[in-house]
Structure 1
Amino acid sequence: MISLKQFKYFIEIVDAGGYSRAAEKLYIAQSALSRQIKELEDELQTPLLTRDARQFELTPAGQLFYERGKRILEEIDDTLVQARQVGKGAQGMLRLQHSSSVILTPRISNALADALHQHPGVTLDVSMLPSENQTLEIEEGRVDIGLLRLPTLRRHPHIQVREIGSERLMVAVARSSPLAARDNVELAELSEAPFISIPHKDRGGLSYLVANLCLAQGFFPKPARALSRKSSQLNLIEAGLGIAIVPECMRLTAPAGVHFVPLAHGTLLTKIGLATRREADPLVTAFADALVGLLSSPVP
């Protein structure tokens, strides 16, 4: 069985440029170092180094083992550091992204504050990114935690997404619109309305949900003359250019001239998910678990 010590010895030989210098840095005999590498090659059943009296060269297998082995050792070192930090109260910067439709409501902001209180050494770097892009950012290590709209269509084997709440879907209309006087609206009634935000059935998140809800009613939203998928859509709605189907939380950021009407008596819902890597750093896992616990209860 390959040992962690053999990983370290092999990486040190390559980094030091030879056996003798590596042996000096490791404070072991060169013969013992050579024996460890020979045992490593025997276990792998392939040579990693070609040697002569003065120098060595990496074989293709050795080059692969060096590059990936070095990353493994770095990840182990990071894990040890993170574990110590978690044990001491958790120290570190976490990167959190949320979509424009998952705004930082008082409920979410309070949960973040409570989670930070539970982890006094943590600081957050918060930014915004569409739901469909967040899982890739997390998969590739540029983001730690994502708050997004479900469903997620892109499948990444190392990502887990946990549901943390739901809220009503509503129709955002201008206050001058006849719809503003309604107590509720059935989705089928919107088949001829101009949509400021055109849902995309292949994009995931809120866009995918709205597209499929409309298709189930026998229509696909008609585009307005001005389109936006961002928060600016509310300003276009206020100007009377069209409507949009949005989560109820958007009421918190809407201009005064926008009115929100429940869809189908408030029975149509959208779900929020929290995304992380399945094998995230202990600090990320601990903070994300705290957020899930704080946010997973149903919205009143």
Structure 2
Amino acid sequence: MPSMKQLQYLKKIVETGSYHLAAEQLFIAQSALSRQIMLLEEELGFKIFNREQRQIQLTVAGAYFYKKSCQLLHSLQQTTQQALELSQGKHAYFRVAHSSSIGLSERFIAASQQFASSHQLSIEFTQHSSEQQIELLKNRQLDVGVLRLPVLTHDYAELELFEYQQERLYAALPKAHPLAQQQTLQVADLKHEQFVSVPHPERGGMSYVLRSLCVAAGFNPKPAALRSRKRMQLALVQQAAGVSIVAESMIDPAFEGVHYVPLTDAAAQAQVVIALHRQASPLLMAYVEMLCGAQGL
């Protein structure tokens, strides 16, 4: 197995672009540094650097290995820092992310606050797409992900998923729009509308749900001139740039010019799950189980 010292040496060479500069900054002989990289390559079974080039250049396999090893070093650094803080009696630290189409409810925040207080830990919330969350969780750069299924072209094998909630979907319309006066709507009623949020060909989540609903209703969503898959789409709807389909947690009273009409289609729901690594700590698992109050999927 490669040693952490070898990975640090590799990182320094790539960062400086020079064996000479890397050796100086590492306070070792350049010959010793070269020897360690050669041993690393023998261990791995492939070349990391293309030695036919005069400048430092990674091979394809080397570039992939370098990227992953940097993630490993970063994760180890964070783990070491957290362990040090725990040894000094300082608080544990959870990193929780959610996608932009999932608003964290008062219930979620209140439960997190209660858990943090009772276990003397801190929780930091950030936003990442569901796809990014999967990768961050797998690389142990994130502790908990709140994401919307499906997430396309991603492997969940290393993660455990807990069902959090099924959200009802709504048509988001400018307040003056004729359909805004309806009590309920079906997706087919939006056939001739322009959508401020349209599906991304490689994205799942709400993008995938929106397109699936429209296709089931017999049409592809027409893109508006101004578009966003983030919460900004509500601002676009408010400005009458078009319409959208949003999950219940995205409803924001701050956008007074947007009217929300529930959709009655049987499939007009979106599933939200909470994900964490299968090797997560018992404390982290307890936090997620408390949030969900349900068995893992």
Relative to the length of structure 2, the TM-score reads 0.68
Q: Which residue of 2 aligns with 1:188?
A: 188
Aligned position for 2:147: 148
Q: CA deviation at 1:175?
A: 0.6
5+ residue gaps, structure 2, are: 7-34, 45-68
Deviation at 1:270, TM superposition (A): 0.9
Q: 2:97 aligned with 1:135, yes or no?
A: no
The whole-number CA distance in structure 1 between the counterparts of 2:232 and 2:136 is: 24
SS of 1:272's equivalent?
strand
The separation in 1 between residues aligned to 2:114 and 2:196, in whole angstroms, is 36
Deviation at 1:106, TM superposition (A): 0.8
Of the structure 1 ranges 266-275 and 91-100, higher mean CA displacement relative to structure 2 is found in: 266-275
Q: Give 5+ residue unaligned stretches, structure 1.
A: 1-6, 15-56
Superposition deviation, residue 197 in structure 1: 0.3
Deviation, 1:96, is 1.2
2:25 match: none
Pick one of 277, 282, 291 that aligns with 2:288. Answer: 291
Going from structure 1 to structure 2, the CA distance change for 1:260 and 1:62 (only over 3 Å counts) comes to: closer
Q: How does 1:242-253 map to 2 (within 5 A)?
A: 242-252=242-252
Cα drift, residue 138 of structure 1: 1.5
How far apart are 1:230 and its partner, in Å?
1.2
* Maintained 8 Å contact 1:167/1:271: yes
| CA 260–296 in structure 1, closer or farther in 2 if over 3 Å, else same | farther
Q: Is the 8 A contact 1:132 1:205 kept in 2?
A: no
Which secondary structure state, in structure 2, belongs to the residue aligned with residue 104 of structure 1? coil
Tell me if the contact between 1:164 and 1:292 (Cα under 8 Å) persists in the aligned partners. Answer: no
Any residues of structure 2 matched to 1:267-282 within 5 Å, and which? 268-280=268-280, 282=281
Contact 2:162 2:292 in 1 (8 A): no
| Larger Cα-atom Rg | 1
Identify the residue that residue 11 of structure 2 maps to in structure 1: none
1:157 positional shift: 3.1
Contact 1:237 1:243 (C-alpha < 8 Å) held by counterparts: yes
Structure 1: distance between partners of 2:265 and 2:183: 8
What SS class does the counterpart of residue 251 from structure 2 fall into?
helix
Distance 1:190 1:289 in 2: 43
The alpha carbon displacement at 1:137 in A equals 1.5
CA distance in structure 1 between the partners assigned to 2:40 and 2:199 by the alignment? 48
Question: In the alignment, is the contact (CA less than 8 A) between 2:213 and 2:267 conserved in 1?
Answer: no
Q: Contact between 1:108 and 1:295, CA under 8 Å: does it hold in 2? A: no
Q: Secondary structure at the match of 1:126?
A: strand
Amino acid in the other structure paired with 2:262: P
In 2, the alpha carbon distance for the partners of 1:156 and 1:192 equals 37
Q: Partners in 1 of 2:256 and 2:167 — Cα distance? A: 22
Between the aligned partners of 1:130 and 1:229, the Cα distance in structure 2 is: 10
* 1:213 correspondence with 2:210: no
Q: How many residues align?
A: 236
Q: TM-score, normalised by structure 1?
A: 0.67
Aligned to 1:260: 260
3-state DSSP class of the match of 1:264?
Answer: coil
Shift of 1:184: 0.7
The alpha carbon displacement at 1:217 in A equals 1.8
Report the AA paired with residue 129 of structure 1. H
Q: Secondary structure at the match of 2:208?
A: helix
Task: State, as a whole percentage, how many aligned pairs show the same letter.
Answer: 31
Is the 1:195–1:242 Cα contact (8 Å) retained in structure 2? yes
